[in-house]
Amino acid sequence: MQTTPDYGADTPGVMQTFFLIGFACLLFAAFAPHLLRIGSAKVETGSFFWPVSFFIAEGLLFLLYVKFGKFCHRDFMLGMDEWQSYACVLDMGCGRGLLLAGGAKRIAAQKRRRTHHGDRHLVEHHMASNSAAATERKLELEGVAQICTLVNKPA
């Protein structure tokens, strides 16, 4: 049973491509003949080691952002303004709901501070092709499903 939401990678194919190209260059540099002749040009296969470090480093940086960076980025963006007790969030096209959940958490924190304020805060969003059920599950795991309203209007 999953207890924490997994927001996943937004473009996993890009990360996969970085790693595949990096490892392909590594295999080519390690196992190809030391010197290749292409027409009148001579290419040293050892020169393929520099793209190895570049592409694998890019893949690792992408993975680091997916696992940690996007949460810091979200919190930084949401912290750029003072959140009032009457705040509402409209997240159009929320994708996997990362920003939506962060905004809902801030609203929930405001609501707890002002318990006499009886408004029900709504966090609405419009989703085109993503799964509403998956987003609702993430909101439940984040503990903010009761203050969110998901609106799914097909394009």
HEC secondary structure over the chain: CCCCCCCCCCCHHHHHHHHHHHHHHHHHHHHCCCEEEECCEEEEHHHHHHHHHHHHHHHHHHHHHHHHHHHHHHHHHHCCCCCCCCCCEEEECCCCCHHHHHHHHHHHHHHHHCCCCCCCCCEEEECCCCCHHHHHHHHHHHCCHHHCCCECCCC
Domain that holds residue 127: 89-147
- What sign does the CA torsion over 102, 105, 110, 111 have? positive
Tell whether 106 and 139 lie within a shared domain. Answer: yes
Tell whether 74 and 99 lie within a shared domain. Answer: no
Q: How many domains does the structure of the chain reveal?
A: 2
Indicate whether 70 pLDDT > 70. Answer: yes
The encoded tokens of residue 18 equal 């970085």
Indicate whether 145 pLDDT > 80. Answer: yes
Tell whether 97 and 68 lie within a shared domain. Answer: no
Is residue 130 in some structural domain?
yes
Tell whether 99 and 137 lie within a shared domain. Answer: yes
**Confidence band for 126, pLDDT divided at 50, 70 and 90:** very low
pLDDT given for residue 111 in this prediction: 62
Q: What is the pTM of this model?
A: 0.70
Q: Determine contact, residues 64/98, Cβ cutoff 8 Å.
A: no
Position 29: which residue type? A
SS3 category, 104: helix
